[in-house]
Structure 1
Amino acid sequence: MGRVGAIRQGALDRLPVRTALPALEQALDEHGAAVLCAPPGTGKTTLVPLALAERGARVLVAEPRRIAARAAARRMAWLLGEKPGGTVGFTVRGERAVSNRTVVEVVTTGVLVQRLQRDQELAGVDVVILDECHERHLDADTAAAFVLDVRAALRPELKLVAASATTDAAGWARLLGGAPVVEAEGALHPVEEVWAPPARPVRPPHGMRVDPVLLAHTASTVRRALRERDGDVLCFLPGVGEIARVAGRLADVDAEVLQVHGRAPAAVQDAVLSGSGARRRVVLATSVAESSLTVPGVRVVVDAGLAREPRMDHARGLSALTTVRVSRAAARQRAGRAGREGPGAVYRCWSQAEDARLTAFPSPEIKVADLTAFALQAACWGDASAAGLALLDAPPPGALAAARSVLAAIGAVDAAGRVTERGIRMSRLGVHPRLARALLDGAPEVGVRRAAEVIALLSEEPPREYGDDLSSAWRAARRGGDAYATRWRTEAARLAAGLSPARPGSAGSAPQDSTEQRPHPAAGAPHDSGLRLPDGAGSGARRGAKLPRSGGGASAPDQPSPERGSGGGAPGFGKGRGGGNALPPHTDDAVAGLVTALAFPERVAGARGRGAFLMASGTAAETADGSGLRDAGWLAVAVADRSGAAASARVRLAAVIDEDTARTAAAHLLTEGEEVHWQDGDVVARDVRRLGAVELSARGLRDPDPARVRDALLDGLRREGPGLLRWTREGQALRERLAFLHRAVGGPWPDVGDEALLDRAGDWLEPELSRARRRADLGRLDAAQALTRLLPWATGDAVRLDELAPERIEVPSGSRIRVEYGGEQPVLAVKLQEMFGLAETPLVAGVPVLVHLLSPAGRPAAVTADLGSFWKDGYRAVRAELRGRYPRHPWPEDPSTAAPTRHTKARQARAPGVTR
C-alpha cells in the first residue's frame, strides 16, 4: 500500500480504466510520458490519479474548468472515504482545499500555469495529468508546453499524461516526444442515437444570437425524451441565457429542472453531481458538463448542437464569445454522458446529414482567441516569441504580434519583447493583462479595494439582469446575495490581497528583483528589468494626470463609497461630446469609469448622437434602446460585440466617463496636428485634436501645406473620378481619339481610361494641380490642354495623331465630317448622297470606320462598314423607302457612278467644299 488509503472496492470494480493501468504505468516508467484515451465514465479522471499516487507518486491533475476540478477532487475523496483537503485536495481560483497530507491535487489549467511560473521545477510533484486535453483550451496548451520544457531542461524524471476521451491521440503523442498511446476499452453501456431535427428551418447562429425556434424545439425534444425514456435528462445548450429561456419553457414539466453552468452556485453544481432524488431531473447545462464527472441518474442526453467559443476581432480590438456548431468530438463526449450508468439515448437536434458536415474537433483557442495573456505568460517564461514552446498549433503571427503590441503599450514587456518587473507583477495577479494594468495604475488613484472591486466585475461579466451600466452593476453586486455576487466578493478580496504588501514569494507579492522570477530553462541569465515605462503604461500619478481620487494611494485605507443618486445619468455630467462638466470625484461613475478606461483605453468612446458612439479605435458602437447610457457624452466600454452583418458594435457593459478621464486613460492615443483631406466633396483643411478616432476639437486652416492640399485633391479625383475636371467637347474628343489609338495600335499611345488617368494624375495635371486649392479649381482646369502631356512626344509619334486618328475625314462631296471615336469602332455619320461614288470604306489607323448613312433630314438610314456591299445589296431598299419621302434629292439607280452632292436636285451645281 502506498500513500493512498483503501479505495472503495465496489466503485473500483466498476471503473473499466483499471485494465489500462499496467500499460500506463509501464509507459510512464519507460518513456516518462503517455497519451491516455479512455471513453467517458471509465474512471480516467478519478482512478488513474489515485492508482499513480498509490505507487508513491505525488500527482497534480489539471482540469479545464473549476466545476470539473472541484467535482473530480470530491469524487476521488469519496472513493477513499474522505473529504477534500486530505489525501485528495483541489485548488481553483478563489478556493483551496489542501493539507500536508495531500498527495493528489486537482487544479484548473490556469492555476497550473501560474504555479509553473512561480516554481518551474514543480517541486514535490511526480506526475502531471492534463485531463480533457481534447478541448484545446489555451491554458491547457500553455501548461503542456511549459511542462514539456521543464522535463527537457530541469526535471526529466517529471512524468506527464495527456488524457481525454476524444482527442487527436497521434498529435499529442508526437508533441510528447513519441509517447505511447494507451487506450482503455470502455465498458460504456450502449447509447442509442435519435436524430431529432427541427420541423422547420432554423437560422444559423451568429454572434451570441440563437434562433428562438431552435430553443423551442430543444425544449420540445426534452419533453419528448421524458415521455419516451426513463431516467434523468441532461440537455446541452450554448450559454446561460439559452438555459434560462429553455428552463422557462419547461416550467410545467413533472421533473425538477436544474441549471448548471460556470456561474451557477457551487452548491447547485455539487447537488447535480451528488445524486438524484426520488423525483426525475432535467439538467440544463453548458459545455461544462462535457468534462465533469458522471451526473448520477442520467440516461438521456438532449443536445442542441451548439457551443460557445472565443473569437478575437483584431481589426476592432473586440474579444467576445461566439456561438458555433458543436464538433463531432464534443458531440460524442456529450452523448457518452447517457451511457455511464446504463443503456441510454442521445437526442440530437440536427439531422444525420448535418452531422457529417460538423468539424472533427473544436477550434483550438490559440487559433481564434485573444493571445495577450498567452504572450505575457510566454514572455515571463523567457520565450517571448513562443517559438521554442512545444505547441500542437503555433499561434497565428498576426494575433501574437497584436498581443505583444498591447503588452508593450501597458509596460509589461520592453522594446525587445522581454518581460519587465511590471509585467511579472501583472502575470501574478491572475487576470487578463489589460485588467492587471488597470488594477496597478488605478489603485493609487481610487484605492485598492475599489479598484479591485471594479476589476472583479470586469474579469467575469455580470449577469445581464445587472444591466449595461457598470456603476449600477457594481452597486447590484454589493447588494446582491446571488452566486455571482458571492464570487465577485471573493475575487475582489483576492485581487486586493494581490496588491497588498506580502512576504516574498506569496501569491500576492510582486517580485523584489528579476532573479525572483526564474528565467526560461533555455533562456540563459536573467535580463535587466529596470525599464522606463512607455507613455500610458504608468499610473496617472506618475504622469501628473488629474484623476478622481478616493483619498488614498495603493496602501492607504479606502474611503467610504458615496453612491450615485437614482436616475439614468450621473449628476453634473456634460451632455455633449466634449463632456464639458467633469464627473464628481469619489462617485461610482468616476471610479468605475477610470478603471475601465485604463483597462481598455482604445474603447473610450465619444458620443456621435443619442445612443451612438465612436470608440478611439475607430469602431462605431451603440447602446440598446432604453439604456441609461444613451445620453452619456463619453463611455468607457468594457464589453461589446459585433455580428458580421452589423455596422456597429453593441455595447453590453460600459461606464460613464468625462473627457478628462478619457484623455488621461488613453493619453497615448492623443494627437494634435493639421489634417488636410478630401471630405464631403471638397478639400477640408483643419487643425484637429483627436483621441484616436474621436475628434475633440477642430479649427479651420487659412494657409494649409500646398503639398497636402495637392494630395487631398488627388484623393478627391480618385474617389469621384476625372469628371471633377472641365471636359470641353475638344477635350473629350481628344480623350476618345487617344483611347482608340491605345486599342488599335497599342504602345506608345497611352491608356486614358479612368483608372489609368487617375493613377498618373500627378503627371499630366501638373502644374495646374499644384496651384489648385479646392474643388472649384479642379472644375476650371482645362483637361484637354493637360491631356496633351500624355502624348508620346519622346518617341516622335505625337505628330502622327491627326494622321492616325484624324478629327475629320473629307468625303466625296468635299465636306469634312467629324469622326466619333467614343465607341468600339470609329463612326462617320454622313448624308447618304455625299458618299455616292465611294466604293471603299474609309480607314483610320487601319480600322474601317462604321459609316452611318443619313437621310436628307439627318436621320439614320443605314449602317455599314462595307460601302461596296451596301451599294450593291442594301441601297435599293433604302432608295425605295426614301425617294418618295425626299423627291427633291437625287436617288440614282447606280450610286457607285453617281456624282456625290450635299444639295437638292435644283442646286446640284458645283459648290465649294464645306466642313461640318
Structure 2
Amino acid sequence: MIRDEAFELPVRSALPALRTALETGGTAVLAAPPGTGKTTLVPLALAGLADGGPVRRVLVAEPRRMAVRAAARRMAWLMGEDVGRRVGFTVRGERRVSAGTVVEVVTTGVLLRRLLRDPELPGVDAVIVDECHERHLDADTAMAFLLDVVATLRPELALIAASATGDTAAWSRLMGGAPVVSAAGTAHPVEVVWAPPAATVRPAHGTRVDPALLSHVAEVVRRALREREGDVLCFLPGVGEITRVAGLLGSPSGVDVVALHGRIPAAAQDAALSPGVRRRVLLATSVAESSLTVPGVRVVVDCGLAREPRTDHARGLGSLATVRVSRAAATQRAGRAGREAPGAVYRCWAEAEDARAPRFPSPEIAVGDLAEFALRAACWGDPDASGLALPDAPPAGALAAARATLRAVGAVGADGRVTARGTRMAGLGLHPRLARALLDGAERVGARRAAEVVALIAEEPPRGHGDDLAGVWRAARQGGDGYASCWRAEAGRLASSVTGRSGSGEAAGRDVLGDDAVAGLIAALAFPERVARRRGGAYLMASGSAAEPGGGTRLGGAEWIAVAVADRTAASAVARVRLAAVIDEGTARSAAASMVERCEEVAWDGGDVVARRVERLGAIELSTRPLRAPDRAAVRGALVEGLRAEGTGLLRWNRDALAVRERMAFLHRELGAPWPAVDEAALLERSAEWLGPELAAARRRADLERVDAGTALARLLPWSTGQAARFGELAPERIEVPSGSRVRVDYGGPQPVLAVKLQELFGLRRTPRVADGRVPVLVHLLSPAGRPAAVTADLESFWRDGYRAVRAELRGRYPRHPWPEDPAAAQPTRRTNTRR
C-alpha cells in the first residue's frame, strides 16, 4: 500500500493528462518543477503501484548514480518496502532488484548498455528519461536510441522525457510533436539574498578558483547559520573546493560539516541524503542539483560556479573548466531550499551580474570528448550519427577526432563500422581508451592488475594522493578511505567483466612485472599519444604537446613517462601532468607501436640542408643517422625551403646583379607584362624557374652562396616573345652623354637617375628618356667635385632658368672648369681648362 504522502505530491494532478498522452501517441514530455514528485510518483503510477492499475514494468533513467539510489530509496519508502523488492536500482557495479521488481531506476549509462545489448528492452513497458534539461550526453544519446526503438521495433513502448524546467518545446519537436504535460509546483517560497564579496575576486581559470572567493563562501555559510534555521546546502564546483571550504569552516558548535559528491562511497552518499541528528552544513557539487530531496535543508549557499568538460581534440587532452553557473542551474540550486518549507538562497555574486550569466548550461555534446558516444553510435549501426534524433548535432571536428581514436584502438574498421572488439569494449562501461587498456593489458599482466590500474584512471584519485600512478596504486591497496572502497569495487567489476568470474585469480607467469611497470604499461596502452620523453625541464608527448609534472614528484627524474591524466588551460602551452607512471622506451614503443615510423628526412634546418634517417614515435625523435645519398628532388625542395626561410639574400648579389634586378623591376612597373615582377615574393614563387640549373646542382647552403644571381635572373626575361632582346634598349644599363662618357643609370628609386658632371652635358638640350621614351631620367648635375649641384628632369628649362644661379655659385670655386654663358651651345668636356 502506498503511503498517503504520495498523494500529496503536486504532480498527481498531471497524471490523467500524462496517461492520455501515452495512450494516444505513446510519447510525452513531462515538465514538472523540483519537488513535485515527477521522479517518484510518476514511475509508481505508470507501474500501477499508486492506484491499483495494471502492473507494468517501468525503467527510470537518471544522470547520476547518487540520484539513482536516492530515487529508488524514496519510492521504496513510499511503498513501505526495502529497496530491491518492487522498486530496485542498477548502477555500475551495484544492482538491487528481484523477480518482483517493476520499477527499476538506472543510470543513463546502464540504460545505453542495455539498449546496445538488446534494443527491444524485453519486458519493459515504459521508459522515463529524467532530468533531460541537464543535457548530459548519455541522456541525449539514450533518448535518440529510444526514439529509434519506438519507431522501428517497439511502437507500444511508452517513452517520457522528464524535465524540471519549462523549456520543453525542443524535446516535443524531437519526439515528433509529443504532447507536453505540465505539473504546477507548490514549492515553498525561497528568499534570494545577494551576498557578493566585498573585495575583488579573480575570475576562475581552468580548475583554479580564487581562494578569496572560497573564504568568502565560508563566511557566507557562517552568516547563514546565524541568520536562518535548518540545514545549509552549499554548492561548490568541485571536490578540491569542498575540501578547502570544509577546512575553513572547521567544526562549528553543534553543526556537522558533510561532503556530498560523486566520489564518496555509496553509504556516505546515502547518509548525507538522510535526515541528520544535528544541524548540518552539506558541501556539495552539482550532483545535488538533481531530482533528490536533501531532508532538513532550508538554506542554500551558491558560490556561483560550476564545472564543465572541455576537450582539446588536436592534442587529445581533456579538462574541466570552471564556469559561471547558468541561470537555469542557479534556479535549480535555489529550489533545494524550498522543498520542505520556506527557505532562503544566499548567492555569492552581485544581483547586477545575474543577467550576464548564460541561460542554460552548455550541452555536453558540444564541449566534451565524443569517443564513447561515437562507439555507441557505431554499435547502433549509425557510425556518423546522422540518423540519430539528437537535440544538437555533434561538432564535425570533435566527431572526426573521436572516430580516429576508435580506429586506433581497434573499435571500428576503416569504414567506421564497429568491430567485434568494439562491441566488447562498448559493454565494459569504460571510455574506449580505457577499454583498450583493460583488454590488452589483461593479456599481458593479468585481469586483476590491469583492472586495478584502469579503475584508478577511470575513478581519478583525489589530488592529495599525488601524481605518481604506481604510488597511488600502492596507497589505494592499503587505504581504508572512501576512495579506496569505491576503487576496489570498480576494480572487481572490471576484472570480472574480462574474465567472467571474480577476477581475483591470475594466470601463471603474469606477476613478473612490478607495480611501476604495470602502471606504466596500462597508462601507455590507454593513452599512447601521451607517452612522453624528457626534454629539458619538461616532457614532450608523442602528440607533440609539452607536459610538466608538479614540483617534488619522482616523475621529474625519469627519462620516459606515460601520462594518464593531464589538462591544459587555454592560456598555457604546456599541459599539467595530474597522474602518470614511469616507463622505459621499450614500453613506449610497444604500447604506441602504431605511432612508430621510420623515414628519410631532407629539410632546411639550422640554416642549411640536413639529410637524415629518422625513427620517431609520434613527435618524439627516437634515433637519427646522417643520410649520405639523399633524394635529389628532396634536396631541391629543402633548398627552396631555405630560400623561403632566409630570402634570396642567400645568393651572390654583386653590383651588376643588383642592377639587372632593378632594371627588370623598373620595366615591370612602367610597362607591365611581359616584363616580370622581381620583388622578393615573386622571385621566391618562381625560384624553380630562374634557379633551375643552380638548384639541380646545389647540395647545401654554400652552393647557393656561390650562385651568380644576375646571370640566373636573366632567365626570367621574356625570351619567348622576343622582348628580351630589347632589354638593353628599354632599360639601358648606361647612357652615352655629349662628352662621350657612358654613364650608369641608377634604377633603384622611383625614377631612373643619371648622375653626371654638369660640363659633360653642355650642348644637350633635351633630357634622355627610357622605356620607349615614356620615362625621362632624373638628371643629377654634379659639380666638378662630384657633389650634386642641381636635379632636373627637364634639361631645357634648367639651361634656360637654373644654370645661371649654379654658374654664379660654382665658377669661383672651380675656376679651372668651363662655365660658359650659353651652355646649350658650348662644347661638352670631361677635362679642366688648360689655361686660366
CA displacement 1:823-857 (0-9 Å, x = unmatched): 44445555677678878765544345556666665
Residue equivalent to 2:185:
186
Which of 525, 540, 543 pairs up with 1:617? 543
Give distance in 1, aligned partners of 2:820 and 2:586: 93
Residue equivalent to 1:93:
92
Change (3 A) 1:148 1:860: farther
Residue equivalent to 2:37:
43
Does residue 1:486 correspond to 2:485, yes or no? yes
Which of 597, 601, 605 pairs up with 1:679? 605
Change (3 A) 1:161 1:765: same
Give distance in 1, aligned partners of 2:434 and 2:202: 36
C-alpha displacement of 1:158 = 0.7
Residue equivalent to 1:385:
384
**Equivalence map 1:315-464=2 (5 Å):** 315-464=314-463
Residue equivalent to 2:563:
637
Whether the 8 Å contact between 2:811 and 2:817 is mirrored in structure 1 is no
Does residue 1:21 correspond to 2:20, yes or no? no
Residue equivalent to 1:763:
689
- SS of residue matched to 1:209: coil
Whether the 8 Å contact between 1:856 and 1:886 is mirrored in structure 2 is no
Does residue 1:9 correspond to 2:8, yes or no? no
Residue equivalent to 1:606:
533
Give distance in 2, aligned partners of 1:225 and 1:871: 99
C-alpha displacement of 1:148 = 0.8
Does residue 1:267 correspond to 2:257, yes or no? no
C-alpha displacement of 1:253 = 5.2
Change (3 A) 1:491 1:797: same
- Amino acid of the residue matched to residue 588 of structure 1? D
Change (3 A) 1:62 1:781: same
Please list every run of 5 or more consecutive structure 1 residues that lacks an aligned counterpart in the other structure. 503-507, 509-552, 562-584, 910-916
- SS of residue matched to 2:273: helix
Length, aligned pairs only: 828
Does residue 1:139 correspond to 2:138, yes or no? yes
- Amino acid of the residue matched to residue 348 of structure 1? R
Whether the 8 Å contact between 1:449 and 1:558 is mirrored in structure 2 is no
C-alpha displacement of 1:110 = 0.4
Give distance in 2, aligned partners of 1:630 and 1:363: 37
Give distance in 1, aligned partners of 2:499 and 2:818: 111
C-alpha displacement of 1:60 = 1.0
Residue equivalent to 2:257:
257
Change (3 A) 1:40 1:872: farther
C-alpha displacement of 1:457 = 0.9
Give distance in 2, aligned partners of 1:794 and 1:897: 43
Give distance in 2, aligned partners of 1:39 and 1:864: 90
Give distance in 1, aligned partners of 2:684 and 2:260: 62
Residue equivalent to 2:708:
782
Give distance in 2, aligned partners of 1:870 and 1:368: 76
Change (3 A) 1:405 1:849: same
- SS of residue matched to 2:56: coil
Does residue 1:658 correspond to 2:581, yes or no? no
TM-score (norm 2): 0.91
CA displacement 1:74-109 (0-9 Å, x = unmatched): 222222222321222111111222122222111111
- SS of residue matched to 1:299: strand
- Amino acid of the residue matched to residue 238 of structure 1? P
Residue equivalent to 1:597:
524
**Equivalence map 1:113-152=2 (5 Å):** 113-152=112-151
Give distance in 2, aligned partners of 1:844 and 1:251: 92
Change (3 A) 1:825 1:348: farther
Give distance in 1, aligned partners of 2:153 and 2:194: 52
CA displacement 1:96-137 (0-9 Å, x = unmatched): 221222221111110110111122111121111111112211
- SS of residue matched to 2:704: helix
TM-score (norm 1): 0.84
C-alpha displacement of 1:187 = 2.2
Change (3 A) 1:718 1:351: farther
Does residue 1:708 correspond to 2:634, yes or no? yes
- SS of residue matched to 2:601: strand
**Equivalence map 1:218-237=2 (5 Å):** 218-237=217-236
Give distance in 1, aligned partners of 2:797 and 2:307: 75
C-alpha displacement of 1:726 = 1.8
Give distance in 2, aligned partners of 1:95 and 1:645: 41
RMSD over aligned CA atoms reads 3.2
CA displacement 1:278-312 (0-9 Å, x = unmatched): 43x33222111111412233333333332222222
Give distance in 2, aligned partners of 1:258 and 1:844: 93
Give distance in 1, aligned partners of 2:94 and 2:62: 15
Whether the 8 Å contact between 1:839 and 1:868 is mirrored in structure 2 is yes
Please list every run of 5 or more consecutive structure 2 residues that lacks an aligned counterpart in the other structure. none
Give distance in 2, aligned partners of 1:868 and 1:241: 89
Give distance in 2, aligned partners of 1:560 and 1:813: 101
Whether the 8 Å contact between 2:445 and 2:510 is mirrored in structure 1 is no
Whether the 8 Å contact between 1:643 and 1:649 is mirrored in structure 2 is yes
C-alpha displacement of 1:29 = 1.6
Give distance in 2, aligned partners of 1:19 and 1:447: 56
Q: Which region of structure 1 is more displaced relative to structure 2, 650-659 or 21-30? A: 21-30
- SS of residue matched to 1:664: helix
Change (3 A) 1:863 1:642: farther
Change (3 A) 1:848 1:307: farther
Give distance in 2, aligned partners of 1:242 and 1:871: 90
Change (3 A) 1:131 1:843: farther
Does residue 1:163 correspond to 2:165, yes or no? no
Does residue 1:648 correspond to 2:647, yes or no? no
Give distance in 1, aligned partners of 2:291 and 2:806: 92
- SS of residue matched to 2:487: helix
Change (3 A) 1:479 1:556: closer
Does residue 1:727 correspond to 2:658, yes or no? no
C-alpha displacement of 1:472 = 0.3
Give distance in 2, aligned partners of 1:406 and 1:632: 28
CA displacement 1:573-630 (0-9 Å, x = unmatched): xxxxxxxxxxxx4210111111221111222112223x42222222222222221111
- SS of residue matched to 1:650: strand
Whether the 8 Å contact between 1:134 and 1:167 is mirrored in structure 2 is no
- SS of residue matched to 1:767: helix
- Amino acid of the residue matched to residue 19 of structure 2? E
CA displacement 1:427-470 (0-9 Å, x = unmatched): 11111111111111111211111111111111111111121111
Whether the 8 Å contact between 2:6 and 2:41 is mirrored in structure 1 is no
C-alpha displacement of 1:891 = 11
- SS of residue matched to 2:28: strand
CA displacement 1:767-807 (0-9 Å, x = unmatched): 11011111111111222111111112222222233333333
C-alpha displacement of 1:143 = 0.7
- Amino acid of the residue matched to residue 443 of structure 2? P
Change (3 A) 1:264 1:556: closer
- SS of residue matched to 2:518: helix
- SS of residue matched to 1:274: coil
Identity of counterpart residues, as a percentage?
A: 69
- SS of residue matched to 1:359: coil
Change (3 A) 1:791 1:272: same
Change (3 A) 1:27 1:835: farther
Give distance in 2, aligned partners of 1:878 and 1:230: 104
